[in-house]
Chains A and B, each alone.
Chain A
Amino acid sequence: MGRRNSTRAVVTTLNDGCQDDLRVEPASTADEIPVWLPAGDEHVFGILTRPTGPSNGTAVLCLHAGAQNLTSHRNRLYTRLCREVAGAGYTAFRMDFHGTGDSSGVLVDRAVSGQTLVDVEVAVRWLTEQGARRIVIVGTCWGGLVALVAAARQDAIVSACLISPPLRLVETGASVTHRGLRRERLGRALSQALRPHVFRLLLVERQYRTWVVSRVRLRVSQAFAGRLGGPHSAGHGDDHVQVSAQALFAPLLRRRVPIRVLFGEQDQTYLGLLKEGTLPSLEAAAEIIDMVVTPITVHGLTTVSAQDAVLHFVRDCLARDAEAAAPTASREAGAGLLVND
């Protein structure tokens, strides 16, 4: 594992061979309780995993990436993570945003504001009411952005593990759709389509052909809508952060909340960040931001190696967080977690 500096934040390159599993007996369904939490007009669903032994007073709150996701996340990543850390004394809670998984409502847009923040704030407050004195928040992709904003607003959140978040949006507050890169994307798409094996797949694979045609249709319709001032041009429904970068990072800096970020080298979120070059808000917060860059693609968790990298990364974050918190930790804190089920 090596470290280098990029945009003044510490960048760690994660190599193979990091095997520091929390060698403990993981929790099982016997240690878990499914609950709905009333959050404004919605009911957000989540699963609480109780520590299998004495509680260490810290809760791990897991946020997924929003659409087409559920509490367990891809290939049970969050199920495995929560059960594993519960074996090491953590309380864990994996939850659905409103309108996703088993929660009520409709996730109308992915602004990091409004009901979405209420969802997380209720979960944080509930975990503290259950006895958690410190909360480590974990979020993937869009959920990472939500985690970052929640960490700035909630004092109980003492550290954040962000998996491939679109961090450049923090700077611009803009839409996640890369409209500025349209010409470049077209060029890339054409060069991909002209490669022999892609060309061959286009000819022989009906599903791939269908998918490509649907993408082309979508792009064309978006382009027309954009030119005609249609709904797509307004960016409705896209991810965007409605908070200034300064307001976001000021409380995090004041409270010295470590923000640990995992990117894959090929993640669009990471490449987008690199394209932006120097980001003043991230530079200003460099002392609390620790970026880890791994050679595999992490975004979307579309491979088992990406999921393993996330597990390793979160373990590492928790270990470092535990070291930092050691003088104040109490073995008794939060031991009596109760849910009125």
Chain B
Amino acid sequence: VAAVIAGDGRISAESSWSDPETGSTEEAAFVGSGGERILAFLHRPTSGAVNGGVLLCSSLYEDLPINYRAEILVARALARRGYAVVRFQYRGAGNSEDLGGRGMTFQTMVADARTAASWLMERSGGARLTLCGSRLGALVASELASLDDRAPLVLWSPIVNGADFFRGMSRANLLAGVRAEARKRQAPGDVERRLFMEGPIEMLGNVVHRESYEDLTKRRLPPTVGPGRRVLLVQLGLGNVENPQYDELVSRWTADGSLVEVLRVRARQLWMVPDNWEPEDNRPTTQDLVAGIAGWVDATAREPS
């Protein structure tokens, strides 16, 4: 039993822990000021200089728990390779501060990402930054990238258009109602009409505020991410099904001079998770995803800037 008992026989609770097997350390803190604090996690090598910094912007609502463990595994894999990685939870989501009954907007999400990036820079000594965004977080990561034309960008199963995200969640919500035969069905009607008539609505057990919906549906991945920028687009899917939205993005960005690579991972991104249970850590698809992203970040960061 390692380090369970402190000198006086009491359990020693710490805001960080180190894994001697991987040589990495994880630290948790509420960062930010006043009523705008977010819960953030720093993964870093326990000793030695860091090779670079990675900011991981997660998604929202049902995506949060579904992708959570995989994001941790990516962060841990990068820390093992010598990178300082920060993950964080947006205000109004997870364990971060409330937004006083309001919903998060793109502005609050980007502000939280900047808070997390500042913490990362402070803790990693201003190392070269890589931005990574999963799903809706890809919009946030690409917004931050617009302020740093050198930062490599990882877009993990990105939401190209915010409206698509809510449309998909609304459909999944409807289908979940079909699955639960005797569950009280929600009143039919399109999302916008229900939002205007009823205020906040729920989708898959998550409260969606009107301001969140109105703001995020308008957001899209940018038409350009800048010439010379390295981009990894992670495409999840079964078989060799093409994603026209991604194909168009890759074509457009490549034509603009960006260096775009696509990582295809044979996995599903579904909100309706089958009820068979398997540890995320042991899934071959998750391992492929983690190795693919960590390997790309490492290779890219080692290139001369």
Contact = CB atoms under 8 A, between A and B. Distances in A.
Interface of A: 28-30, 32-41, 43, 45, 47-48, 66-72, 74-76, 79, 99-102, 104, 106-108, 110, 122, 125-126, 129, 192, 197-198, 201, 205, 207-208, 210-211, 214-215, 218, 237-238, 265-266, 296-297, 300-307, 339-341
A2 to B, nearest CB: 20
A55 B35 CA distance: 23
B4 A218 contact: no
Contacts, number: 171
Interface residues of B, number: 64
23 contacts: A33-B15, A34-B29, A34-B39, A36-B26, A43-B17, A47-B39, A47-B95, A68-B273, A72-B94, A74-B205, A76-B93, A76-B95, A79-B95, A101-B69, A102-B26, A126-B11, A192-B178, A197-B178, A207-B272, A214-B268, A302-B180, A303-B183, A304-B202
Nearest to A301: B205
Interface string B231-275: 000000010000000000000000000000000000010101110
Contacts of A304: 202, 205, 207
Contact residues of A: prevailing secondary structure: mixed
B96 interface: yes
Interface in B25-53: 26, 28-30, 35, 37, 39, 41
B2 interface: yes
B268 A307 contact: no
Given A266-B180, A297-B183, A303-B202, A218 B274 contact: yes
B14 A35 contact: yes
A72 B238 CA distance: 31
B66 A68 contact: yes
B98 A28 contact: yes
Contacts of A76: 93-95
Given A29-B97, A36-B13, A205-B171, A75 B205 contact: yes
Nearest to A302: B205
B182 A104 contact: no
Interface string B10-22: 1111111101000
A36 B171 CA distance: 38
A79 B238 CA distance: 35
Interface in B265-289: 268, 270, 272-274, 276-282
Given A29-B97, A68-B68, A106 B282 contact: yes
A296 B277 contact: no
Given A74-B65, A75-B205, A32 B95 contact: yes
A215 B276 CA distance: 9
B204 interface: yes
B221 interface: no
